[in-house]
């Protein structure tokens, strides 16, 4: 990586599109995949990023690194991709189907007995490396309509107004999606983190 | 009390910091009481933290953030990049550098390429690729520099926008289009564009192209006409100019085939390199036809409509509409035939040394006046090359006139057709030159044959005057002696006429004062040519001497006076062809008194001499022989043969086409029609500036 960075520094003012895949392909792909949670989609936006970079080559001022410049394009491409995906899925009535509240709460709005996966070992230390793997996995199981707003908000740090604008959704819809994402993630992560085997292990 | 569901909604909301104090307090109370809710809050916080860490890891390019691109994906994306680069190169006017220069091009396109600080003699390289050496030219849109490409170690021309144009977005667009169009036109006579880019230091666009030298067709035209004015007209230079014109036509024909109309054709926009290559420059005002081959590939020129172009040409770019077509001047629709007019205008300049509308623009220097000129161009008749120079070859003038027709449909169909006509003229020029040389030989032969006849006549009259009977007849004292010597002289004279069928008579006369008395006269019968007779003494004439005879008397011994006359012994005011004869006389001196005793005169049938000369095959279609003495046509031979009825008429009336030659022959022995190769004239002076014969020949 350092070698690559050095190379970046040395060629700050040089744009070499034919080396882009070799130098920046993995980096941009990981970034995209972390946001889009789908290798095909990530490959697609990385490709779009490179092609856009070639198209607007003249806009590269040479003041920053090519990686940072390409990342800027990639971020834009991710938002564009999410918007397309969001539009595509809008017709689908996922809202109710993917509301985890139904699984977790009874009619009065109280926790269902035995439905809360984290209730068995609520005080266990949450170790980050393991948890990240599970969280990452669980993100992929979330409905994309929920995961996308969650990712744009938490990972990309976009504010609510921006997200609503990009995805053409109302603030209340955004809020609903965010909440369901958190609930769904907690349900998923809780299920895997606090599995009965582990719980019994800890009990011992 | 909050329900669990409501409470964890507040927990979710708290991550975005949207809780009111009351909600926050209610949530805290609930979390203290509900273990499951507290578990959710703790877990959600951990998840939030994990997600932020995942985001950060990916951004910091930590490899544990996940696998990279698969090899397949890398190859696929790599291929698409390669394709995009090629496409970009093609579309970004970098086509010439595609093969083998991809890396370099992109590197250069973003580097600071031009070293702008130009100091005389200072050519150091300071990390830039191009070093500007000197300015080659400037126009309304940009400046062209000679520059050194330090990387490839060669000279190139760089065009960049000037300060004024940089202020105008339209000028940027035009500059861009110019590069775009030039890059798309790959033709030996269109300047090859090497590179198009933006200097990152200044942000200003530029493009590099082949350096073709500073000499333009305008310079070559000026040189040719300057030489002509100095009397050193070199047909080879005209030939070269026309060859260059053919190349321009071919470049424009190619551009038209790709749907590009140049719209600003003029000699200044045609570069000539040192090796005769012709390059059409300056496509900044070109129009790309929507339905043409490049219509979809090159950005539109909506800001440069035909009407706007006319205004642009007046004010912004050209300054004067010297070569503008009527439709451009009137803001009408421009099509490929506008370029045909432009080509005709270049041909006009080649032929005359002037731009077609130069006379209209003389002294015009303000915008309003230029508008008047535009109006004049739009409404008035197109100028003709011969309005500027009379010696323009008439066939070329016809071609030029057709190309510059006011009506677009009357012009040549294509630039190729125009080129073909000029080329045919050039090829014919060789044949015409050869035929003209043949005709010239014929003219000179005619003159030398007649001259030989004159010399023979003079020789004979001199010989006759020195015969013993001539001298003896001066001294005779008796009638018998006189008869004897006269008889001898008649015999000799008869022998001469027998030997010389063209001679009409030989006379020996005595001169006393202004009176003459014929002593011996032998003549040919006027109708029966073979009959030669000696005039009996009783029929010999006497009387007042003619002017011719008086001139002969003035000569010294053995000096022959030769002229054209209506007869040796009379002056005719209105001579006829038959009367015009070639006459030679020589004075006879009395050795005793050393005074003039008389004259010997031979009269030659010029009509017969001429007919004999003309009665053979000629290259020339029309031959006229005219007499200076009486300014009349003597003979006219057309391709159908001799025409007798035209004789005795003033030549200006019978054959006005020879007027130029007749005028030219007043001070010269020869008239050569350098322009059209149609007319040749030769002169034979019998008495300089007074009596002569003109031989006039013309081609078909």
pLDDT digits (tens, 9 = 90+) for A158-193: 888 889 988 888 888 888 888 889 988 888 888 877
**Would you kindly state where each structural domain of chain B is located, as residue ranges?**
4-64, 72-211, 213-413, 445-609, 618-698
Tell whether pTM > 0.90: no
| Nearest residue in chain A measured CA to CA from B10 | A179
Q: Where in chain A is the domain with CATH 1.10.1740.10?
A: 2-90
A122 and B36 within 8 Å at the Cβ level: the answer is yes
Q: What is the pLDDT of residues B659-693, one digit of tens each?
A: 888 888 888 889 988 778 889 999 988 887 777 88
> pLDDT 10s per residue in chain A (204 long)?
444 443 333 333 356 787 888 888 988 999 998 899 888 889 989 998 998 888 887 777 666 778 888 898 999 999 988 888 887 666 555 555 567 777 788 888 888 777 777 765 545 566 677 888 888 888 888 888 888 889 999 888 888 888 998 888 888 888 888 888 998 888 888 887 765 544 433 333
Higher pLDDT among residues B623 and B348, named by residue:
B348
B103 and A116 within 8 Å at the Cβ level: the answer is no
| Nearest residue in chain A measured CA to CA from B67 | A30
Instruction: For residue A21, list chain B residues with Cβ-Cβ distance below 8 A.
Output: 69, 74, 77-78, 81
Nearest to B107 among A14, A178, A189 (CB): A14
Which string of b and e fits B424-441 if b means at least 16 CB within 10 Å? ebbeebeebeebbeebbe
The encoded tokens of residue B20 equal: 């009111």
Query: Rounded to whole angstroms, how far apart are CA atoms B562 and B558?
Result: 12
A150 and B51 within 8 Å at the Cβ level: the answer is yes
| Nearest residue in chain A measured CA to CA from B108 | A14
CATH number, span A96-203: 1.10.10.10
Tell me the nearest-neighbour CA distance from B135 into chain A, angstroms. 27
Tell me the nearest-neighbour CA distance from A82 into chain B, angstroms. 16
Domain B213-413 belongs to what architecture? Orthogonal Bundle (1.10)
Domain B72-211 belongs to what architecture? 2-Layer Sandwich (3.30)
Higher pLDDT among residues B351 and B314, named by residue:
B351
Q: Where in chain A is the domain with CATH 1.10.10.10?
A: 96-203
Nearest to A54 among B58, B74, B81 (CB): B81
Q: Looking at domain A2-90, does it have CATH number 4.10.410.60?
A: no
Q: What is the pLDDT of residues B225-241, one digit of tens each?
A: 999 888 888 888 888 99
DSSP state of B216: B
Cβ pairs A/B, distance under 8 A: 196
- Reply yes or no on whether the pLDDT at B402 is more than 90: yes
Tell me the nearest-neighbour CA distance from B86 into chain A, angstroms. 10
Q: What is the pLDDT of residue A63?
A: 67
A109 and B6 within 8 Å at the Cβ level: the answer is yes
Grouping H, G, I as helix, E, B as strand and the rest as coil, residue A45 is helix
Nearest to A33 among B6, B49, B66 (CB): B66
Domain B445-609 belongs to what architecture? 2-Layer Sandwich (3.30)
Average pLDDT, chain B: 80
Query: Rounded to whole angstroms, how far apart are CA atoms B545 and B541?
Result: 11
Within B466-595, residue ranges assigned H as helices are: 468-475, 479-499, 547-554
Tell me the nearest-neighbour CA distance from A89 into chain B, angstroms. 24
Mutate to test the interface with A, among B81, B87, B89 (most CBs of A within 10 A): B81
B36 and A34 within 8 Å at the Cβ level: the answer is no
Distance, CA of B576 to chain centre: 47
Mean pLDDT across B17-39: 83
What is the DSSP code string of B558-586?
A: T--EEEEES-TT---SS--TTT-EEEEEE
Q: What is the pLDDT of residue B92?
A: 52
Mean pLDDT across B533-552: 90
Q: Phi and psi of B686, rounded to 5°? A: -90, -45
| Nearest residue in chain B measured CA to CA from A47 | B77
ipTM of the complex: 0.85
Q: Which of A200-204, B338-342, B380-384 has the highest mean pLDDT?
A: B338-342
A175 and B40 within 8 Å at the Cβ level: the answer is no
B12 and A17 within 8 Å at the Cβ level: the answer is no
Query: Rounded to whole angstroms, how far apart are CA atoms A123 and A201?
Result: 14
| Nearest residue in chain A measured CA to CA from B53 | A132
Grouping H, G, I as helix, E, B as strand and the rest as coil, residue B608 is helix
């Amino acid at each position: 990586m350092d070698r690559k960075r050095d190379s970046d520094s040395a060629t700050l003012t040089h744009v070499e599109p034919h080396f882009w895949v070799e130098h920046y392909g993995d980096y941009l792909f990981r970034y995209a995949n972390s946001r889009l949670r789908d290798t095909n989609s990530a490959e697609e936006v990385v490709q779009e990023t490179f092609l856009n970079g070639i198209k607007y080559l003249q806009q590269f001022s040479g003041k920053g690194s090519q990686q940072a410049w390409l990342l800027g394009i990639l971020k834009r491409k991710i938002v564009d991709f999410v918007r397309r995906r969001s539009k595509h899925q809008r017709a689908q009535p996922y809202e109710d189907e993917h509301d985890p509240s139904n699984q977790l709460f009874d009619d009065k709005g109280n926790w269902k007995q035995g439905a809360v996966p984290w209730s068995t070992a609520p005080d266990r230390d949450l170790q980050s490396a393991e948890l990240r793997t599970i969280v990452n996995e669980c993100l992929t199981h979330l409905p994309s309509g929920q995961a996308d707003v969650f990712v744009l908000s938490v990972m990309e740090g976009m504010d609510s107004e921006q997200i609503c604008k990009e995805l053409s959704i109302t603030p209340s819809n955004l809020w609903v999606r965010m909440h369901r994402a958190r609930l769904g993630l907690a349900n998923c992560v809780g299920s895997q983190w606090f599995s009965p085997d582990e719980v019994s292990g800890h009990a011992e | 009390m909050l329900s669990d569901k409501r409470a964890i909604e507040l927990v979710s909301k708290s991550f975005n910091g949207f809780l009111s104090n009351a909600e926050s307090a209610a949530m805290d109370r609930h979390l203290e009481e509900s273990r499951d809710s507290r578990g959710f809050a703790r877990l959600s916080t951990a998840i939030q933290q994990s997600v932020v860490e995942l985001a950060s890891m990916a951004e910091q390019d930590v490899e544990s953030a996940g696998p990279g691109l698969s090899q397949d994906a890398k190859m696929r994306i790599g291929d698409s990049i390669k394709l995009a680069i090629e496409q970009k190169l093609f579309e970004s006017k970098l086509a010439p550098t595609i093969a083998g220069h991809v890396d370099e091009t992109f590197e250069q396109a973003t580097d600071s390429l031009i070293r702008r600080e130009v100091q005389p003699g200072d050519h150091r390289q300071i990390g830039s690729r191009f070093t500007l050496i000197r300015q080659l030219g400037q126009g309304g849109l940009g400046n062209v520099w000679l520059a050194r490409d330090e990387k490839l170690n060669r000279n190139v021309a760089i065009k960049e926008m000037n300060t004024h144009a940089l202020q105008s977005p339209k000028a940027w667009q035009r500059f861009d289009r110019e590069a775009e169009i030039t890059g798309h036109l790959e033709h030996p006579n269109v300047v090859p564009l090497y590179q198009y880019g933006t200097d990152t230091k200044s942000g200003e666009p530029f493009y590099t192209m082949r350096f073709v030298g500073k000499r333009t067709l305008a310079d070559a035209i000026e040189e040719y006409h300057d030489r002509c004015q100095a009397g050193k007209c070199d047909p080879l230079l005209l030939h070269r100019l026309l060859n260059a014109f053919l190349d321009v036509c071919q470049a424009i024909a190619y551009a038209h085939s790709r749907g590009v109309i140049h719209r600003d054709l003029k000699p200044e926009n045609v570069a000539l390199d040192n090796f005769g290559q012709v390059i059409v420059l300056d496509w900044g005002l070109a129009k790309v036809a929507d339905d043409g081959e490049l219509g979809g590939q090159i950005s539109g020129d909506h800001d440069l409509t035909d009407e706007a172009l006319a205004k642009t040409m007046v004010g912004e770019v050209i300054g004067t509409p010297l070569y503008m077509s009527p439709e451009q001047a009137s803001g009408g629709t421009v099509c490929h035939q506008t370029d045909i007019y432009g080509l005709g205008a270049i041909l006009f300049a080649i032929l005359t040394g002037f731009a077609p509308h130069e006379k209209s623009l003389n002294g015009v220097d303000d915008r309003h006046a230029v508008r008047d000129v535009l109006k004049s161009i739009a409404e008035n008749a197109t100028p003709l090359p011969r309005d500027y120079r009379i010696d323009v070859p008439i066939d070329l003038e016809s071609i030029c006139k057709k190309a510059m027709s006011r009506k677009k449909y009357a012009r040549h169909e294509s630039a190729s057709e125009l080129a073909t006509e000029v080329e045919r003229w050039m090829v014919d020029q060789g044949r015409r030159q050869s035929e003209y040389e043949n005709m010239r030989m014929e003219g000179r032969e005619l003159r030398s044959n007649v001259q030989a006849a004159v010399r023979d006549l003079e020789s004979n009259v001199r010989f006759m005057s020195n015969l013993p009977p001539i001298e003896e007849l001066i001294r005779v004292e008796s009638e018998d002696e006189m008869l004897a010597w006269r008889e001898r002289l008649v015999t000799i004279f008869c022998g001469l006429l027998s030997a010389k069928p063209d001679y009409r008579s030989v006379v020996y006369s005595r001169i006393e004062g202004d009176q003459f008395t014929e002593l011996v006269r032998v003549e040919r019968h006027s109708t029966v040519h073979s009959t030669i007779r000696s005039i009996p003494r009783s029929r010999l004439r006497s009387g007042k001497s003619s002017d011719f005879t008086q001139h002969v008397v003035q000569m010294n011994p053995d000096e022959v006076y030769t002229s054209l006359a209506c007869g040796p012994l009379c002056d005719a005011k209105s001579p006829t062809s038959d009367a015009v004869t070639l006459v030679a006389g020589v004075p006879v001196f009395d050795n005793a008194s050393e005074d003039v005793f008389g004259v010997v005169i031979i009269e030659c049938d010029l009509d017969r001499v001429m007919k004999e000369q003309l009665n053979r095959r000629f290259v020339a279609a029309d031959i006229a022989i005219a007499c200076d003495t009486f300014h009349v046509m003597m003979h006219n031979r057309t391709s159908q043969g001799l025409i007798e009825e035209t004789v005795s008429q003033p030549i200006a009336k019978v054959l006005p086409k020879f007027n130029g030659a007749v005028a030219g022959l007043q001070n010269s022995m020869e008239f050569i029609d350098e322009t059209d190769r149609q007319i040749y004239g030769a002169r034979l002076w019998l008495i300089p500036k007074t009596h002569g014969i003109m031989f006039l020949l013309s081609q078909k």
